[in-house]
Structure 1
Amino acid sequence: MIAAALAGALAALGFASLHMARKVVTPATRPADTEILRLDTDAQTITLARTPDTQLPGRYGLFTTGTADYVKLGSVVSEDADSVTRKLLTHVPDTAKLSSAAAFSGWYFDRPEQLHLPFTPELIGSALGPCPAWLFPAGDGDVWVIQVHGRGATRAECLRAVPVFHAMGITSLVVSYRNDGEAPRSRAGTYTLGATEWRDVDAAVGFARRHGAKRVILMGWSMGGAVALQLSLHSAHRDTIAGLILESPVVDWRVVLGYQASMLRVPPTVTSLAIRALRSEWASPLAGAGAPIPFERLDIVARAGELRHPILILHSDDDGFVPSDASHDLVVARPDLVQMKVFDVARHTKLWNYDQDRWSDSIRSWVQERGLAGTVDAQQA
């Protein structure tokens, strides 16, 4: 009887671990994380269920379904213990019908046309096929920034950063990568958390060089930070890379997964077994991964001695999704290369939304200190 109970407990533990492992690597659709409680088209306001995100000051976006799939949100105009009413910055007509389930977003811009800057759609040739990108030319074309979005997002996540670089005469290339819903699908169709995605972005660096870039800045958002860090360590174009800017980055996946599991009250044993499964030759296929994930190689704090490019980290201690601990640890490990601007209140990848001026000034100062600002054409300014 005891043996049967033990076997059942171990089986349940194994199932839970594989379930968690599969969730980590499977590209997810955007989950609804709030509810539309009231839409006032006369006042052009919208009332949302109160969450740590929906109560934030600043400008944001809201994904929904119905007669609109995305609307821009302005400041909080009223709130109580259960709800937050915000100004609508997208006009919503009185005929609008929006579903109650919605997803709060830091993207703000969801299409490149909204920036009112010249751009062209491009295709970056990668080993898996063409990866769509947006190219925003600026300056003399010598300095480019390549923007890398995060897990469960698409390249639109990066649009917020384009204007600050454009104003400095820096061309922006906003890219996609395998399994993100826009770029080609790998055989497994799952993420490797940066271990292979960097190759698609490396192809974008090659594209930039062929089109006149002499120096390239990598900017990674969340998991895009992990991608950018892997690229900086392994790319054949390393000498072209002038530096990295990391927004709410994943620096060590084990720290992130442990934190997220604790927030969901998942036992540490399950998290540990899930990571072991993803690392394992025999178990990773059961978790949906196409190949074992090299968590040690993705731990940049442990590999800090290998870094050779200057890095600016923008991270909030109130991130709520990717804890800032590993970012702080990386500053301690390599103070000669790594600078960090610490925010609070702002949550994951929402630093621009919360404090656009400080966010932009931090990037601008770092770029200018390194002589990376391009020549601004009067017609582009």
Structure 2
Amino acid sequence: MTRPASTGRGGVGPLAIVSIAVGGTVLVSAVALASGVVAIARKIVTPARRRRDDVRVEAHDAASGTVTLTSTPDTRLPGRYSFWFDRGRGHARLGEVVRDDGRHVVRRVEGVEGGDLDRARHGRIGGWLFPTPHDAGLVAHEVSVPTEVGAAPAWLVPAAHGTHGPWTIAVHGRGVTRAETIRGVPVFHRHGVTSLLVSYRNDGEAPRSSDGRYALGDTEWRDVESALRYALDHGATSVVLTGWSMGGALVLQAATRSALRGAVRGLVLESPVVDWRTTLAYQGAAMRVPPVVQGLVLRLLGSPLLCRLAGSAEPIDFDRLDLVARSGELEVPVLVLHSDDDGFVPSTASHALAEARPDLVTLEAFDVARHTKLWNLDPERFEAAISGWLERQRLAGPPSTDHRA
């Protein structure tokens, strides 16, 4: 029998050394994996207080009223857009594309509401266009909606005949504010519908929740319910809930979970999150996050104990947030507007929802409008889709003769 190699007094053999090395590698890998899972989970539920300026400003020609930007899928889009610069302190309204050589895009500048575009070096494209309802030619009042976390600011845009009648409650998406929803107000206003543009917990305008984390609609829907109560107390006879992006998840939850859902007569969803698993898997694949890691992230966020590692006070019920699987719970007509090239929230779940409930769901699918920029690309088509749907569902009030909207 061959004797094992001597290790010396108190030493360890080569096999032991290999075992320890391998074990150490496994341990390090496990720690790295766990750290990565927690980091991704935290990013999903932590509100971003500052958005990245990912577009370079090459030149601003005030004489010709144009700005030259690096060419990206968003800067190349036809239509009208916001351009935020100077870390969000400056804002310009951009119009048509004048020239695109593949590397740079030259666009018209319709106006500058704040900041010095001449000094801007970087910025970001947004779909808002209007920072306030006044900028869109709307008469609006600042109001407060009482919620369980405190008073949440909102804009109230009364119908021409007053606030007694049909209302819409507009709910913005992740990482933005109620200003996102202003684009959708004029078509409702023309149809005699009062609009309430709301904020909700952790969006930077409304009060924070105790943990300061997003629940992706699983708790925020209660702020939409508070807005429903406000509307009913101030003259609403019926309500259409309008949700943009993550706001779509909020209104879907309110429409299926709220004790006041009987007042809801319909939903309008723009680039909505209908199923978070589908959305997060899409975003994870875009960032090359392995499927096994994606699965662990969802398990962490859904665990009553482990969710605390992400800073969340409560677990997120991803089954409850899957409105494709729970489409049978929908009881009112739904209009979905979504672009198949969204790039952030895939339209697959919207198509699946329309297929699951063809009796209630109408899908208006765009081709090249990207995420929450459908109005910006084609306002006539956007408003015609909503206008026709309101008329078919008999959800409009007396038509407005106020042409400011």
TM over 0.5: yes
Match of 1:32? 53
Report what 2:398 is aligned to. 375
| Whole-Å separation in 2 of the counterparts to 1:286 and 1:98 | 42
> Counterpart of 2:102 in 1: which secondary structure?
coil
Q: Distance in 1 between matches of 2:330 and 2:63?
A: 55
> Counterpart of 1:114?
135
8 Å Cα contact 2:218-2:250 kept in structure 1: yes
Give the deviation of 1:101 after TM superposition.
1.9
Q: Which residue of 1 aligns with 2:293?
A: 270
Report SS of the residue matched to 1:295: coil
Residue equivalent to 2:174: 151
Matches within 5 A, 1:1-381: 1-28=21-48, 29-65=50-86, 69-91=90-112, 96-140=117-161, 141-378=164-401
Shift of 1:360: 0.5
Q: For the residues of structure 2 that align with 1:269 and 1:94, how far apart are their CA atoms?
A: 45
Task: Give distance in 2, aligned partners of 1:292 and 1:68.
Answer: 35
Output the CA distance in 1 between the equivalents of 2:261 and 2:113.
Answer: 47
Q: Give CA-to-partner distance per residue, 1:88-139, whole Å, 9 cap, x none.
A: 0005899754331211101111112112222110000011110000000004
8 A contact 2:274–2:322 mirrored in 1 = yes
* Greater displacement, 151-160 / 83-92: 83-92
Q: For residues 220 and 196 of structure 1, what CA distance do their matches in structure 2 show?
A: 15
Q: Is the CA contact 1:42–1:94 (under 8 Å) kept in the aligned structure 2?
A: no
Q: Which amino acid aligns with 2:207?
A: P
Q: For 1:242, give the aligned amino acid.
A: R
Deviates more, 1:368-377 or 1:215-224: 368-377
Distance 2:231 2:63 in 1: 48
**RMSD of the TM alignment (CA)?**
1.7
Greater shift in the superposed pair: 24-33 or 250-259: 24-33
Measured in 2, the distance between the counterparts of 1:79 and 1:378 equals 40
CA contact (8 A) 1:188 1:290 kept: yes
State the distance in 1 between where 2:258 and 2:92 align. 38
Change (3 A) 1:2 1:175: same
Could you tell me the TM-score, scaled by structure 1's length?
A: 0.97
**Does the 8 Å CA contact 1:41/1:93 hold for their aligned counterparts?**
no
Percent identity, please: 48
Most deviating of 265-274 and 370-379: 370-379
Amino acid in the other structure paired with 2:98: V
In 2, Cα distance between the equivalents of 1:241 and 1:94?
A: 41
Pick closer, same or farther for the CA change 1:112–1:326 going to 2, 3 Å: same
**Amino acid corresponding to residue 56 of structure 2 in structure 1:** E
DSSP-derived class of the 2:205 partner? coil
Amino acid at match of 2:32: A
- Normalised by the length of structure 2, the TM-score is 0.91
- Residues 208 and 67 (structure 1), Cα distance of their counterparts in 2 relative to 1, 3 Å cut: closer
Unmatched tracts of structure 1, length 5 or more:
none
Measured in 2, the distance between the counterparts of 1:294 and 1:133 equals 28
* Matches of 2:114 and 2:35, distance apart in 1: 48
Paired amino acid for 1:108: L
Gaps of 5+ in 2: 1-20
Q: Identify which range, 9-18 or 67-76, moves more after superposition.
A: 67-76
In 1, Cα distance between equivalents of 2:87 and 2:330: 47
Partner of 2:7: none
| 1:66–1:99 Cα contact (<8 Å) kept | no
Deviations 1:209-253, CA, capped at 9 Å, x for gaps: 111111100000000000000000111111110100000000010
